[in-house]
Structure 1
Amino acid sequence: MKKSKVITILLAFVIITSCREYKIDKVTLDNPAQPNIIFYLADDQDVYDYGCYGNEKVHTTAVDRLAQEGLLFTNAFTGQAICAPSRSQLFTGKYPLKNGCFANHTATRPTMESVTDHMKKLGYEVVLAGKSHVKPSNVYQWDSEWQPVPKENVPRDYIPLDSIENYLKNKTKPFCMFITSKYPHGKYFEVDNPKAEDIKFYPFNEDKKTDPEYVKSKAGYYRSIKEDNTQLERVLNLVDTYLSNNTLFIYSADHGVSGKFTVKDIGLKVPLVMRWPKVIKAGTVSDQLVHYTDILPTFLDIAGGKAMPDMDGKSFLPILQGKDVEINEYVYGVRTNQNILNSEIFPSRMIRNKKYKYIRNFNSLEVVENNLTGKTYVDYFIKRGANKFKNEPFEELYDIQNDPFEQHNLANDEELKSVKDTLSKKMFIWMNSQGDILNKIAGNMPIITPSGNKGFKLDQDTPTRQIADSLKNTLQKEDYTIIEHW
């Protein structure tokens, strides 16, 4: 056999073998230069607290610059307003219930494949620089991982700028880097003589303008946002110094702090700004519904692969290329109040399109009697959860276009009954597809806990909540729904 023919056969074999799982399309073969991807993630920052999202009183010049140079999304969401579950979606393309991390400080299912698996198969190095908050290590196998760096006279550690710069200087192949800041998450800066007029208030917090402690905290939060802006500016300078225009740069924050642990938009709606010179038109805006589960499928599409069939997300690369196309008709949200410091039994689920939003609070005081089990201590904790959130009704329906801050519950409006029923039906179909632990059956109010002693249990003290001695150790193993992979 001629040497040239042997080489051709071997080359064909390599291509076929390497593409069994990831179909490389014609666009990638015509343009083999895969872009570098950098995702900068802030921590606990409301979408309403950016200049480019309408807050003129906060200092976010670096994000505002990215918006001017790229694309700003006005309808971007996470599926859960809490750190670990939110991040797990970015890295797996799956909602928290499906990937397993639906309570804070818990792990993704050990059988999951993450961004590290998928992008490495396409020839990328995958790097984490900063806060992790995801586990287990067999799911998240970073090529390089650099911890946050302590810094004097600031309340939080800094991102590892030196390691980032050294990597950008010496990179040898396409990479996907997540730069994960600890700002502006509290503890916040101390601000002398804070003034309410220096804070922008909204319908959800305008009643706190005269609360000095709230104003002080908010001023410190603004100062922490400014500190993160300094970090982001330095990163952008490094990117512009060492990388070509074939670099997609993304900014977001994992969820809103004002709606943390809820399924309200002040928790689930996130900032999302992208810059990609020569691909994204500068100064553009998209109101299409996009979601954190869409991030990984989009990365795969950009890199020349395809999303896996079991991923919840879809690629929105066409939007980056200037096409105004629908990606999602609906997005969904999850609330899990257990395994946090102030643990209570009060799970919620949400479905939303561009016009309406439906919420069901499964342990609302209205329906708590239907959730009782006949077990004294179990029922005590179920009732306690309902009473803790006694002002939250069983059902909520909002006209998001006319009531973006969800101030007027329309769940009992007869004219919108068909809207509510449709959304409710679709939400339960989605819940079933996710393997949700909740359903429509009365009495199904699971008490979740990790196996072993890894989480916050309802009948134990936490650093912020004290349990009466008479209630300690009253819940038995058989009372719990144990999540083994935690």
Structure 2
Amino acid sequence: MKTFLKIVLVTSLSIASIHLHSQNKSKPNVIYILADDLGIGDLSCYGQTKFETPNIDKLAASGIKFTQHYSGSAVCAPSRSSLITGQHTGHTSIRGNLERGKDLEGQVPMDGTEVTIADVFKKAGYATGAFGKWGLGFIDSEGDPLNQGFDEFYGYNCQRKAHRYFPPYLWHNKEKVFLKGNDYTNKITYAPDEIQKATLAFITKNKNKPFFAYVPFVLPHAEIISPEDAVYNAFKGRFKEDKPFVMPNDYLSDYGPNMVEYKYASQLAPHAVYATMVTHLDNYVGQIMARLDELGIADNTLVIFTSDNGPATEGGADPKFFNATLGMRGVKRDLYEGGIRAPFIAVWPHKIKGGTTSDLISAFWDMKPTFAEITNVKELGNTDGISLLPTFLGQKNQKQHPYMYWEFPQAGGRKAVRLENWKGVIYNIEKKENPAFELYDLSKDPFETKNLATQNPKIVAEMKAIMNKEHTDSVLFPMK
């Protein structure tokens, strides 16, 4: 009888374990990959012709590519805040890049009361990890990633320190991990390689349970530098280098005993090195996808790839040379299309049809409601977003945004609205009493060259009303 009961108990536990494992794996893993300062035209699947990005192109061929996706903002921290909180920059707590204080590591922290995308996944029973650049709050602050729903963090807490690819240390949770040989004079250990190792280890460790990996790569943000490896050698001498980043330049400081860490290293071959950096990024994406295949979990993993804002011009970067905005007006810090239009690719085997394209108007703040619907989490806090799941699944019931809104309280104060095919932009809000309103019809003028504001006063008035409605006051980032 005891033997019989033992068999029954073991059998029951085994069935329960199988059932639990089945339940866990019915929830898809999610990997959200965020490039840094990568223009939409820096990918060959969107039109880059001077070099190729085969691994990211494969994502597009295997999934869905969006053509009208927008970043959260035109610079690093507010764009990430918009993503993490699911709110546009009129509502999210971090609306610009703001240091916590002179010579202090890290930026001012985001609001600790927000329900973040990591919180959504935690409510659904996921393991959560962030690997790369954070920039939303220093260690032990309310903005620390460990206080925003993440179980594990590895990388740069401070986005200013992320200007250097050979730093003395990175952060693993609350501890500094010193990198072999690096002391701001010697450049031995390439930080992105170490971050990639941590990303792959997290995926491997959590292969048997649902996980969310937020992977905000530093590449290809300046400084424009790379190891002199086989990737670099493939590009060395390929391009005309008519704009080396060398002295005199106020934002240049080379590695050495007197180096200023937030500035950038000189670079004689910025075109070749930039192509190398994007290629390294593409290779890392390929390694992530290969690891999913090796672990047998690719079919149950949603992978998303995008960029935090438009391409930069710092440190020798040359978006014009690479046509990084596909001819669209503006770059990083601009609220014209070139500054905020982002690549967006999603792959989910057996769920998302491969090789599809969507012109749905969408943005970073749509991620939180999308992830909440995927994980069946009802309590997602404040959001300005809509779920993109119907578009992912090829369904016809996709909700549309009535309009999109951005504000940028720095660079003189800037606001923008997307209303159907109309785009409204105001610059120098803080500097001028009555700043000029610009209005463009993106369906006919995607490069924003013909201002139609005077011919369309009703649309201008509607957009101004949207701007007033969607702006909430911020003590940290005051703006009219």
SS in 1 for 2:219: strand
Partner of 1:417: 457
CA distance in 2, matches of 1:303, 1:356: 34
Residue 30 of structure 2 aligns with an amino acid whose one-letter code is I
Residue 118 of structure 2 aligns with an amino acid whose one-letter code is T
Q: CA deviation at 1:119?
A: 1.5
Deviates more, 1:58-67 or 1:299-308: 299-308
Match of 1:251 among 286, 305, 317: 305
CA distance in 1, matches of 2:354, 2:110: 37
Are residues 101 and 141 of structure 1, via their aligned partners in 2, closer, same or farther at CA, if it must alter by over 3 Å?
A: same
Are residues 240 and 430 of structure 1, via their aligned partners in 2, closer, same or farther at CA, if it must alter by over 3 Å?
A: same
1:335 partnered with 2:408? yes
Are residues 107 and 58 of structure 1, via their aligned partners in 2, closer, same or farther at CA, if it must alter by over 3 Å?
A: farther
CA distance in 2, matches of 1:179, 1:54: 24
SS in 2 for 1:84: helix
Q: CA deviation at 1:357?
A: 0.3
Partner of 2:201: 166
Match of 1:304 among 373, 376, 384: 376
Residue 163 of structure 1 aligns with an amino acid whose one-letter code is A
Residue 267 of structure 1 aligns with an amino acid whose one-letter code is G
Match of 2:128 among 112, 126, 136: 126
Residues 456-475 of structure 1: pairs in structure 2 closer than 5 A: none
Counterpart contact for 1:268–1:333, Cα < 8 Å: no
SS in 2 for 1:157: helix
SS in 2 for 1:75: strand
CA distance in 2, matches of 1:315, 1:215: 45
Residue 417 of structure 2 aligns with an amino acid whose one-letter code is I
Counterpart contact for 1:301–1:307, Cα < 8 Å: no
Higher relative contact order (CA 8 A, sep 6+): 2
SS in 2 for 1:167: helix
Partner of 1:93: 86
Q: CA deviation at 1:198?
A: 12
Q: CA deviation at 1:183?
A: 0.4
SS in 1 for 2:281: helix
CA distance in 2, matches of 1:328, 1:160: 36
Q: CA deviation at 1:155?
A: 7.1
Are residues 238 and 34 of structure 1, via their aligned partners in 2, closer, same or farther at CA, if it must alter by over 3 Å?
A: same
CA distance in 2, matches of 1:61, 1:112: 37
Counterpart contact for 1:70–1:283, Cα < 8 Å: yes
Match of 2:155 among 134, 147, 151: 147
CA distance in 2, matches of 1:401, 1:215: 40
Gaps spanning 5+ residues in structure 2: where?
A: 1-21, 98-106, 138-142, 157-169, 171-178, 181-186, 227-234, 244-265, 313-330
Counterpart contact for 2:311–2:339, Cα < 8 Å: yes
Gaps spanning 5+ residues in structure 1: where?
A: 1-28, 200-212, 338-343, 371-392, 438-447, 451-480
Counterpart contact for 1:154–1:189, Cα < 8 Å: no
Counterpart contact for 1:70–1:274, Cα < 8 Å: yes
CA distance in 1, matches of 2:476, 2:473: 15
1:322 partnered with 2:388? no
Are residues 217 and 31 of structure 1, via their aligned partners in 2, closer, same or farther at CA, if it must alter by over 3 Å?
A: closer
SS in 2 for 1:422: helix
Partner of 1:292: 364
1:275 partnered with 2:341? no
Residue 72 of structure 1 aligns with an amino acid whose one-letter code is K
TM-score, with structure 2 as normaliser: 0.69
Fraction of identical pairs, as percent: 27
Are residues 214 and 162 of structure 1, via their aligned partners in 2, closer, same or farther at CA, if it must alter by over 3 Å?
A: closer
Are residues 156 and 127 of structure 1, via their aligned partners in 2, closer, same or farther at CA, if it must alter by over 3 Å?
A: closer
Residues 215-254 of structure 1: pairs in structure 2 closer than 5 A: 217-242=270-295, 243-254=297-308
Partner of 1:115: 117
Match of 1:56 among 49, 52, 55: 49
SS in 1 for 2:390: helix
CA distance in 2, matches of 1:299, 1:277: 17
| Superposed CA offset, 1:58-88 (max 9, x none) | 3211111000000001111123111111111
Are residues 363 and 331 of structure 1, via their aligned partners in 2, closer, same or farther at CA, if it must alter by over 3 Å?
A: closer
Are residues 162 and 309 of structure 1, via their aligned partners in 2, closer, same or farther at CA, if it must alter by over 3 Å?
A: closer
Counterpart contact for 1:41–1:253, Cα < 8 Å: yes
Residue 385 of structure 2 aligns with an amino acid whose one-letter code is G
Residue 398 of structure 1 aligns with an amino acid whose one-letter code is Y
TM-score, with structure 1 as normaliser: 0.68
CA distance in 1, matches of 2:268, 2:44: 19
Partner of 2:320: none
Partner of 1:426: 466
Q: CA deviation at 1:195?
A: 3.4
Counterpart contact for 1:245–1:278, Cα < 8 Å: yes
Q: CA deviation at 1:50?
A: 1.0
1:400 partnered with 2:454? no
Are residues 223 and 32 of structure 1, via their aligned partners in 2, closer, same or farther at CA, if it must alter by over 3 Å?
A: closer
Residue 142 of structure 1 aligns with an amino acid whose one-letter code is F
1:351 partnered with 2:351? no
Are residues 284 and 408 of structure 1, via their aligned partners in 2, closer, same or farther at CA, if it must alter by over 3 Å?
A: same
Counterpart contact for 1:38–1:247, Cα < 8 Å: yes
Are residues 197 and 186 of structure 1, via their aligned partners in 2, closer, same or farther at CA, if it must alter by over 3 Å?
A: closer
Q: CA deviation at 1:35?
A: 0.5
CA distance in 2, matches of 1:248, 1:307: 21
